[in-house]
Amino acid sequence: MNPLLAQFLAEANDLLAQVDEGLLQLERDPGDPELVNEVFRAAHTFKGSSGLFDFPELTRLTHAAEDLLDAVRGGRLALDSGMTDDLLASFDLIRGWLAHVTTHERLPSGAGSDAAGLITRLRAPLGGEAAPSAPSAAGPAVLVDTAPDWLAYLDAEWLTETAGWLSTTGSTLRFLWYTPDTDCFFRAEDPLHLIRQLPALDRLSVVQPGTWPAVQEYDEYTCMLSFLVVTRASLGELNHLFRYVTDQIEIVELDADAITRHLSGEPPLRAEEVMTVAVTPVIDTEMAADARSVLHAAHRALTMDGVVTEGTRIRSVRHAVAAAARSLGVPVDLGAAGPAELLTAIDLLAGEAAPAPVAIAPVPAAPPRAEERVESRADDPGGQVGTRVLKVDQEKVDRLMELVGELNVAKNGLTFLAASAEEEFGSRALSRRIKDQYAGLHRIAEELQSAVMDVRMLPLSVAFSRFPRLVRDLSRRLGKNIELVTEGGDTMADKDVIEALGDPLVHLVRNSLDHGIETPDERSLRGKSHTARLTLTAVADGDAVIVEVSDDGRGVDPDRVKHKAYEKGLISEEELETLSDVDAVDLVFRPGFSTADQVSDLSGRGVGMDAVRASVEKLGGAVTMRSKLGQGTSTRLRLPLSMAVTQVMVVSVAGQRFGIPVDLVVETVKVPAGGMGRVLHQDVVMMRGEVVPVIDLARALDMPWSLPETADRPILVVSVNGQRVGLLVEQFHREVDVILKPMEGLLAYADEFSGTALLGDGLVLLVLNMKEVLGLAARVA
Amino acid sequence: MTSDTATGARVLVVDDAATVRLYHTTLLGGAGFAVNEAANGLEAVEAALGTDFDLFVVDVNMPKMNGYACVEALRSDTVGSDAPVVMISTEDRPGDADRAYQAGANLYLVKPVAGDRLVRVATMLTAGKDDVA
């Protein structure tokens, strides 16, 4: 992709987010002029940049949106929610387009028709008229000296105004004359439709025939009209639009001079004038046109009311005039010319190009250059001004993270080296020195790691940012009044965590909106305020971040949940009687459970909270729900700040080592062989008055191994879903920090492992997914 | 610097849109200008205080300090620059250009400006700079 487009796409992302956010805030606070201004500016900047590319539909749609915003900014319109909807829809469409542009580098094929409806809707509050200004895609066009005779169909006053304005702006206008064939209707041509599609229309004049035929001869199936169109659309756009009727159109581009000449009824450029221009050396016509623009500008600057014509201003005008004169091939010496002299020079230059250098100033005094240069500041190589924020490709940061991981592994290798120095070579001193070296390296590696992780940190507000819009749209569809409050948006977490958090959060918020929060009528019936409150909170808690979604809706009814779970066969009759309210609420996380009596298109599809729990646990987090009937529900997600580094406890079974996330580990115990008990078919161990089931890890993993009858039983106690389970293992090892890599290829289906990690001694460690392993154990038993 | 070539002339491109900045700097840099950038009027003024620019290419609609205010500041005693200023904006209503000239600009162009045109204008305006005091 060309770098300009890449830059545009990156910038567009930010700008569109600003527009979205601003619009939503505006809806709440429509009177805030600062907000309107911000949104307008973002839209405006976006439009300006989009004009650099050949995306006419994009520019047109943004332009319509910008015009609407401009009207709001100018106080000519009050923003209502209908307009906000249209604006949001427009920017949504644009976002979709940009996604297409990212991969295809052009707009999708249906862009024009997709935009047409929105443009009409955006323009409707403005009276439906096309914008007075639209950027022209700078395309080559033929500048014509002679105004065609059909220009007379435009009124003189408008032409005068246009000529004056053309001369000062350097804009270009295209004049198009379209005389459809008289029998065009029989060839499925629709002139009116064509004209309607014309972008950036400034002026339209429908010209009737000079004399209409007599009534009895008049044929209504004959087209007798001509169209005169003034537009700022590029030549390319015009040619494309009229590609089937090229023989019926005439396009000219006129500059201010040609229009003025037309107005004054003068003939086109006299032969000798053309000569003069032709004689002057090293000039191309475009350069001359630019020079004329500069001269016009200088003229305007000198004659306008209230313009300071001294000091730097007059000097800069002098520079500009001299530069223009030079490129016209008529160098002038302006010396210290004042405004009057400059005007004379401009008239001379713009009128009849003088054959010889024009001396204007009476005193061609030596230019006071030295003096000026004394005051000039030393060139500052550090004067480069720009943004101080570095935008880095995510892949580069990821690569850096990988390298840090590899450094950690290499670093851990030193501890093995130290061990072998002592054991194999018998040098305790060497071992100690290696350990010292390791300590230093460890410190630096840790700092490096936290520095890189810091780069990857994003505020939670990134994950929250989509919710104002989502809540707004959904609550309108559901007819509920909901106030969304976000707290702790500045809490930081790793970008992977933030990204992975998106879907679970959407699920939870949708659930709240759909099931949790009551309709306004129901709320007032229960004596609650009409407007419900949905809160998104984030707080940092050590190495974890806690994100909570809470509402003040109807809450979860534990009895109803229990019965539902019973009906679905998720719990036994006994559990139906004995389950506590807290445990009952937790049932909603069971696979296949859905409290919605009807499946709604918003959330309930049977895959609900269990999907949330699964994805949060995949992140190494936990999810819990608390609910008070009639008062609201709060779902709490606890996630690691970073997923990059995982601490695992290494254990071995049947000679093979496995990792178990340290988060899950409660304690390690050695139980004498006789201390084990048995309840039904389950091995158990009594720990502080609690019966803890013990699972033989080797059996669960189908590995042939058993401990000697009399040996102590090493048991690792883990807590999964709030339940304590003992794992019978062969031996405990150390805790290590590892970079967890997901299983790939065929092994990706091995659910009992959550990934692999490389140990310092080069061994690949399989890290267990405890939940799956316990499931396996249950099946084996 | 020789007066018959634009090469090496110092240009400050002022625009809040990074894409537009990149476009302008690429064009001008490719044509041999030494290009610096500023993201708004305020940055431009700061830059102009530290460096003597031969040309300013200034956007109109910018946060913090808009183009008009920026050009006025450039022309003020504080900065005291008499280098040519080209304002480039999406606004092309009658009257917009006058505001630019009032502020002290020397040319007003409407976005997007064709690449060759920008280079042509920049070359023209910087080539003559040493002829006049």
Q: Does the ipTM surpass 0.85?
A: no
Distances (CA, A) of A500 to A596, A621, A776: 26, 11, 27
Residues A582, A577: Cα–Cα separation, whole Å = 14
Residue A358 and residue A258 share a domain: no
Question: What is the total count of domains within chain B?
Answer: 1
Residue B132 located in a structural domain: no
Hey, of B19, B126, B130, which one would you mutate to test binding to chain A, going by the most A CBs within 10 A of its CB?
Answer: B19
State mean pLDDT over A212-229.
78
Residues 6+ apart with CB under 8 A from A46: A11, A12, A15, A16, A19, A62, B17
Q: Tell me, what's the pLDDT at A351?
A: 60
Question: What is the reported pLDDT for A515?
Answer: 83
Based on the fold, state whether residues A62 and A115 are members of the same structural domain: yes
Beta-carbon separation of B82 and A312 below 8 A: yes
Which of A48, A367, A368 lies closest to B17 in CB terms? A48
How are strands ordered across the β-sheet holding A632-640?
A482-487, A532-541, A544-551, A632-640, A622-628
Chain B contact for A110 (CB, 8 A cutoff):
no
CA distances from A188 to A109, A176, A232, A386, A564 (A): 23, 21, 27, 56, 64
Q: Do the domain assignments include residue A133?
A: no
Evaluate if residue B38 carries a pLDDT over 80. Answer: yes
Higher pLDDT, A159 or A743: A159
Please list every residue in chain B whose beta carbon sits closer than 8 Å to the beta carbon of residue A383.
Answer: 36, 47, 50-51
Q: Give me the pLDDT at residue A748, please.
A: 72
pLDDT band at A388 (very low <50, low <70, confident <90, very high): low
CA distance A437 to A429: 12
Instruction: Determine, for residues A138 and B120 on separate chains, whether the beta-carbon distance falls below 8 Å.
Output: no
Position A726 scores a pLDDT of 92
Q: Which residues contact A702 (CB under 8 A, 6 or more apart)?
A: A780
Residue A201 CA, chain-centre distance (Å), reads 32
Tell whether the model's pLDDT for residue B62 goes beyond 80.
yes
Q: For residue B58, what pLDDT is reported?
A: 93
In a domain, B133, yes or no: no
pLDDT of residue A362: 37
Which of A307, A323, A379 faces B125 most closely, judged by CB atoms? A323
Give the model confidence (pLDDT) of A81-117 as tens digits: 888 888 888 998 898 888 888 887 778 877 878 888 8
Cross-chain residue pair A290–B105, CB shorter than 8 Å = no
Instruction: Indicate which of A52, A332, A334, A372 best probes the interface with B, i.e. most B CBs within 10 Å of its own CB.
Output: A52
> With 70 as the cut, is the pLDDT of residue A221 above it?
yes
Which of A321-325, A463-467, B49-53, B90-94 shows the lowest per-residue confidence on average (mean pLDDT)? B90-94
Q: Which residues of B touch A298 (CB under 8 A)?
A: 106
- Final residue belonging to a domain, choices A405, A440, A458: A458
How many beta-carbon pairs below 8 A join chains A and B? 218
| Nearest-by-CA chain B residue for A365 | B133
My answer on whether A506 and A414 are in the same domain is: no
Same domain, A527 and A675: no
Chain B residues in contact with A380 by the CB 8 A cut-off are: 50-51
Q: Quote the pLDDT of residue A425.
A: 86
Q: Residue A14 phi/psi, 5° resolution?
A: -60, -45
Of A7, A170, A307, the CB nearest to B18: A7
Q: Is the pLDDT of residue B105 over 70?
A: yes
- Residue A436 contacts by C-beta under 8 Å, 6 or more apart in sequence? none
- Residue ranges of A 160-219 with Cβ closer than 8 A to chain B: 161, 164-165, 168-171
Chain A: give the shortest CA distance to residue B68, in Å: 13
Model pLDDT for residues A611-668, shown as the tens digit of each residue: 788 888 777 788 888 888 888 899 999 887 766 667 889 999 988 899 998 888 989 9
Asked if A256 and A304 sit in the same domain, the reply is: no
Q: What is the pLDDT of residues B7-25, one digit of tens each?
A: 578 999 999 888 888 888 8
CATH number at residue B60: 3.40.50.2300
pLDDT value of residue A284: 56
Shortest Cα–Cα distance, A166 to chain B (Å):
9
Report the amino acid identity of residue B117: R
Query: How far does A332 lie from chain B, in Å, by closest CA?
Result: 9
User: Does A147 fall in a domain?
Assistant: yes
Q: Does A158 touch chain B (CB under 8 A)?
A: no
Together in a domain, A658 and A611: no
Whether the pLDDT of residue A273 is over 60: the answer is no
Whether A361 has its CB under 8 Å from any CB of chain B: the answer is no
- pLDDT tens digit sequence for A222-255: 888 888 888 877 777 787 778 778 778 888 887 7
> Of A138, A369, A372, which is closest to B112 when you measure between CB atoms?
A138
Structure confidence by residue, pLDDT tens digits, A170-195: 566 788 888 888 877 776 677 887 88
Domain that holds residue A765: 645-780
Give residue A131's pLDDT band: very low, low, confident or very high (50, 70, 90).
very low
CATH code, domain with A239: 3.30.70
Is the pLDDT score of A42 beyond 70? yes
- The answer to whether A290 contacts chain B (CB < 8 Å) is yes
Query: What pLDDT does A216 receive?
Result: 65
By C-alpha distance, the chain A residue nearest B10 is A379
A44 vs B: CB within 8 A: yes
Given a cut of 80, is residue A386 above it in pLDDT?
Answer: no
When CB atoms are compared, the residue of A170, A322, A372 closest to B131 is A322
pLDDT tier for residue A603 given thresholds of 50, 70 and 90: very low
Question: Rounded to 5, what percent of chain B is helix, strand, coil?
Answer: 40, 20, 40
Judgement on whether residues A454 and A468 belong to the same structural domain of the protein:
no
Compare A385 and A700 and report the one with higher pLDDT: A700
Looking at the fold, whether A226 and A98 belong to one and the same domain comes out as no
Whether B124 and A164 lie within 8 Å, measured CB to CB: no
Higher local confidence (pLDDT), A266 or A138: A266
| Residue A736, CA atoms < 13 Å, CB-side half-sphere | 30
pLDDT in tens, A713-770: 899 999 887 788 999 999 888 888 777 777 777 777 777 888 888 776 778 889 998 8
Are residue A151 and residue A293 in the same domain, yes or no?
no
The answer to the question of residue A382 being in a domain is no
Does A452 lie in the same domain as A476?
A: no
With beta carbons less than 8 A apart as the criterion, state whether A488 and A539 touch.
yes
Answer yes or no: do B108 and A334 touch at CB < 8 A: no
Q: Is the pLDDT of residue A385 over 70?
A: no
| d(C-alpha B81, C-alpha B73), whole Å | 9
Beta pairing, strands A492-494 & A544-551: unpaired
Is residue A420 one of the residues assigned to a domain?
Answer: yes
Contacts with A376 from chain B: Cβ below 8 Å: 52
B125–A320 CB contact, under 8 Å = yes
Predicted confidence (pLDDT) per residue in A406-420, tens digit = 787 788 788 888 888
As a whole-number percent, the residues of chain A with pLDDT over 70 amount to 85
Do residues A173 and A247 both lie within one domain?
yes
Q: Is the predicted pLDDT of residue A353 greater than 50, yes or no? A: no
Whether residue A229 lies inside any domain: the answer is: yes
Per CB-CB distance under 8 Å, the chain B contacts of A313 are 75, 82, 104
Domain that includes residue B71, residue range: 10-127
Q: Give bridge partners of residue A669 from the DSSP assignment.
A: A715
Q: Which residue of B has its CA nearest to A170?
A: B109
**Which helix (H) or strand (E) segment is A204 a member of?**
strand A201-207
Number of folded domains that form chain A: 6
Residue A136 placed within a domain: no
Residue A383, domain member (yes or no)? no
In the structure, what pLDDT confidence band is assigned to residue B71 with cuts at 50, 70 and 90?
very high
- Kindly report the nearest CA distance between residue B7 and chain A, in angstroms: 16
pLDDT of residue A287: 76
Domain annotation covers residue B83: yes
Q: Taking 60 as the threshold, does the pLDDT of residue B5 lie above it?
A: no
Confidence at residue A469, expressed as pLDDT on a 0 to 100 scale: 82
Chain B residues within an 8 Å CB radius of A138: 112-114, 117
Tokens for A248, please give them: 């019926």
Are A294 and B92 an interchain contact pair (Cβ–Cβ within 8 Å)?
A: no
Domain for residue A663, yes or no?
yes
Residue B115 counted as domain residue: yes
